[in-house]
Structure 1
């Protein structure tokens, strides 16, 4: 000890007792060294349903804690099946933003729409490209989001809400937030029913028992009429053992074929 005292004596060393670290300094150290926890991901299940009376959208938001927010949205306009699925995704993103969520995973049972959003399939129709643009813009406020395709049986709640919204003009329930949207997010240019088509003589005969002046045409209409039925101003053909078949005007046939091709072939 004497030797070390001599050796260190030439240095001006001052010893002080160590005091307690201030609480704020410790807090600052913890904030600086420990990474912040990321916000947990919310799950959003969506589905769309389209029929002659309109379009229905179902959205189920599930918090990390398991709590659910259910949304049913009705669009009082004709929307295609693919359009209804896009409307559902747009509604899901909007609902997430309204709740204040920044990280979500969208679950849809539409493989075509999910792959189009992921970029695996490129839509050929302009309206689908418009929908993709709207989805990109609406998702811009989120920190992170993705979409996954799931089997239909795993999307039962959203599917039920969508069908409920599409089939009823007035929805009243305490468990579901219900809204009505008069027009779809984009103009899908769904063709209107032709005023004069091959169905016109049949409808005239069924409603007013009016026949064409041409005798051969009149006999043809009387022979065909029992095979058809008019419900809510829409003409259907009776089938032997199956459901009623919706009749299409000439200008609607090309549109339906495009929708089938878009749905099957992407």
Structure 2
């Protein structure tokens, strides 16, 4: 259990195990069988040395076990959202408050011009998407839009075609959570999300420890789904994370084992860990083409050679995904 949870450290450093049991002799015995063989193979990739240990206080072991056992039920994540629209486009502010009371702030600008109600829906959808990205399963959305909150709850009838599309998309996205709800709050209680929405009017693409700001060219209800690529550079990494399956080629297998600690697989999406920053979403070659096309055609009005640029970004000369 320790080796799996601390895998990046076990791969990078020699390990000394203090134990009164003759684990060292058992692990290297030629006649081990059954479950011991599986443990020996799994731990064989690490540089582990077994040494006898002195007495340890029982309370220290108890405290360690309590820390390692996950909570029975995840606490609720609170998400405050606000959206607005003007001549420059749709502006969205999202404030995520974690169960430990930490804050994640997002400011989003969407180029197409929409109504204020559509902007409020975009804010709710952005909040749900952000909650999915951070792995939350129980969330409460707080919005100061009475119309959007009541339509989602079923208190107001929805007749407008666009509002129906937003409502269906919201229902589909919310279905991915174990438990979720939306509450209407007074505008004065939603000041932080409102300030982020105002800030989004003049933002450029940036990510800091306090606020993540970005732009999007397409509305949620009009987004095209990039073509699915059955196999990509991510496939062997995901296969090893989920099934511990390695390529038959020994060189490739060794390379993946060295790289895998840099990645994490959440909600069927592969992310790369960044140094003191957010998780970076990994893209397949088809998805890179789609993103580059949206950026360059939306901003520059022209089509650039996406394939060459995507290879430079994701397959550098040094080898391996970056």
Q: Please, what TM-score do these two structures have when normalized by structure 1?
A: 0.55
1:150 aligns with 2:150: no
Aligned to 2:221, the other structure's residue is in SS state coil
Q: Distance in 1 between matches of 2:98 and 2:217?
A: 29
Q: Give the equivalent residue in structure 1 for 2:143.
A: 108
What pairs with 1:69-80 in structure 2 (closer than 5 Å)?
69-80=104-115
Contact persistence 1:105–1:146 (CA under 8 A): yes
Q: Distance in 2 between matches of 1:139 and 1:91?
A: 11
What pairs with 1:54-69 in structure 2 (closer than 5 Å)?
54-69=89-104
Q: Distance in 2 between matches of 1:169 and 1:77?
A: 15
Aligned to 1:141, the other structure's residue is in SS state coil
Q: Distance in 2 between matches of 1:173 and 1:94?
A: 17
Q: Give the equivalent residue in structure 1 for 2:204.
A: 170
What pairs with 1:1-266 in structure 2 (closer than 5 Å)?
37-165=72-200, 167-170=201-204, 172=206, 174=208, 175-186=210-221
Contact persistence 1:79–1:184 (CA under 8 A): no
Larger gyration radius, structure 1 or structure 2 = 1
Aligned residue pairs, count: 151
Q: Distance in 2 between matches of 1:145 and 1:173?
A: 27
The two structures, once aligned, show a CA RMSD in angstroms of: 1.4
Aligned to 1:186, the other structure's residue is in SS state helix
Q: Distance in 2 between matches of 1:120 and 1:53?
A: 32
Q: Give the Å deviation of 1:172.
A: 4.5
* 5+ residue gaps, structure 2: 1-70, 223-322
Q: Distance in 1 between matches of 2:146 and 2:205?
A: 29
Per-residue deviation, residues 80-101 of structure 1 (Å, max 9, x unmatched): 1000000000000000000000
Q: Give the equivalent residue in structure 1 for 2:53.
A: none
Q: Give the Å deviation of 1:37.
A: 2.7
Per-residue deviation, residues 178-222 of structure 1 (Å, max 9, x unmatched): 1211021125xxxxxxxxxxxxxxxxxxxxxxxxxxxxxxxxxxx
Per-residue deviation, residues 145-201 of structure 1 (Å, max 9, x unmatched): 000000001001100111111x215264632111211021125xxxxxxxxxxxxxx
Contact persistence 2:110–2:219 (CA under 8 A): yes
* 5+ residue gaps, structure 1: 1-35, 188-266
Q: Distance in 1 between matches of 2:199 and 2:206?
A: 11
Aligned to 1:153, the other structure's residue is in SS state helix
Q: Give the Å deviation of 1:109.
A: 0.3
